[in-house]
Amino acid sequence: MKISLKLYRYNPEIDKKSRYETYQLEADPTDRILDILEFVKGYIDGTLSFRRSCAHGVCGSDAMRINGQNRLACKTLLRDLHGNKVTVEPIMGLRVIKDLIVDMDPFFENFRTVLPYLINDEPAPKTERLQSPEDRERFDDTTKCILCACCTTSCPSFWANDEYLGPAAFVNAHRFIFDSRDRAADERLKILSAQNGVYRCHTVFNCTLACPREIEITKAIGEVKRAISTGSLK
């Protein structure tokens, strides 16, 4: 099929401001958007810049706005877009470094703020710290995060204020708050109840719609809010 591909372009060494470039291409409906970007880079314009690594929906590095919606380029087929016009832009709310590459530092700073690792200073047992299947199930959904930022950069609260910790940070806090082996839930809940925490979430749901791992993000945020208000992890 013939497609019209419109790409956001910005090279800070040359351009005073961003612009769009449009390419007319032949592509297959089963091509991924990542394949099409690789084609442009390999055969038309080697200066086109974007992040990618695994190409299989695992590393989370190729989040982009594709026809207005945050998605992973490697998990989006041309035929999913229902038409032959494709627009690819960088995710919103983070500074553009070049073309489709944004500065992810504020996103990862917010992630680190919620202490996204297991904290337990009790003496380690001889073998592993055991957990029942039911206790594991409690936070199973939020273990699936690949830190792609599709959620946080689709959230209006984050567009307005990049110090808002954002849904990806909340998902990763949830993953440890509800882990029966962890002992730092109170500390995390205190961080999450502060000014840029979960109460700046207004249940917009963009995050849940954008997540390529289909994590029920808004539900997880609701569980964190409930834990703060009730003081219970049940």
Query: Which positions lie near ligand F3S, rule CB under 6 A?
Result: 155, 157, 167, 201-207, 218, 221
Selection from ligand FES, ligand F3S, ligand SF4, none that 210 binds (CB < 5 to 8 A by kind) is ligand SF4
Question: 65 with 92: CB under 8 angstroms?
Answer: yes
Residue 55 binds to ligand FES (criterion: CB under 6 A): yes
Long-range contacts of 66-71 (CB under 8 A, 24+ apart): 66/33, 69/154, 69/209, 69/210, 70/150, 70/151, 70/153, 70/154, 70/210, 71/33, 71/150, 71/210, 71/212
How many CB atoms sit inside 10 A of residue 230's CB? Answer: 9
Name beta bridge partners: 4: 24, 85
Among 52, 98, 181, 200, the residue binding ligand FES under the rule CB under 6 A is 52
Regarding beta strands 19-26 and 2-9, do their DSSP bridges make them parallel or antiparallel, or are they unpaired? antiparallel
Site map (CB under 6 A) of ligand SF4, residues 162-181, x = contact: -----xx--x----------
> Which amino acid would we find at residue 71?
R
Residues 179-218 that bind ligand SF4 (CB under 6 A): 210-211, 213, 215, 217
* CA angle centred on 45, ends 43 and 47, rounded to 5°: 130
With 0-12 CB in 10 A as exposed, 13-18 as middle and 19+ as buried, what is 201?
buried
- Closest separation in Å from C-beta 231 to ligand F3S: 22
> Which amino acid would we find at residue 3?
I
Measured CA to CA, the distance from residue 195 to residue 139 in angstroms comes to 25
Site map (CB under 6 A) of ligand SF4, residues 136-155, x = contact: ---------xxxxxxx----
Measured CA to CA, the distance from residue 84 to residue 69 in angstroms comes to 16
Nearer to ligand F3S, 102 or 201 (CB): 201
Nearer to ligand F3S, 3 or 207 (CB): 207
Nearer to ligand F3S, 61 or 157 (CB): 157
- Closest separation in Å from C-beta 183 to ligand FES: 33
Nearer to ligand FES, 4 or 53 (CB): 53
Selection from ligand SF4, ligand F3S, ligand FES, none that 202 binds (CB < 5 to 8 A by kind) is ligand F3S
What's the maximum distance between 2 C-alpha atoms anywhere in the chain? 63
Among 1, 19, 22, 54, the residue binding ligand FES under the rule CB under 6 A is 54
Residue 76 binds to ligand FES (criterion: CB under 6 A): no
The residues binding ligand SF4 (CB under 6 A) are 60, 145-151, 167-168, 171, 210-211, 213, 215, 217
Binding site for ligand FES (CB under 6 A): 52-55, 57-62, 72, 74
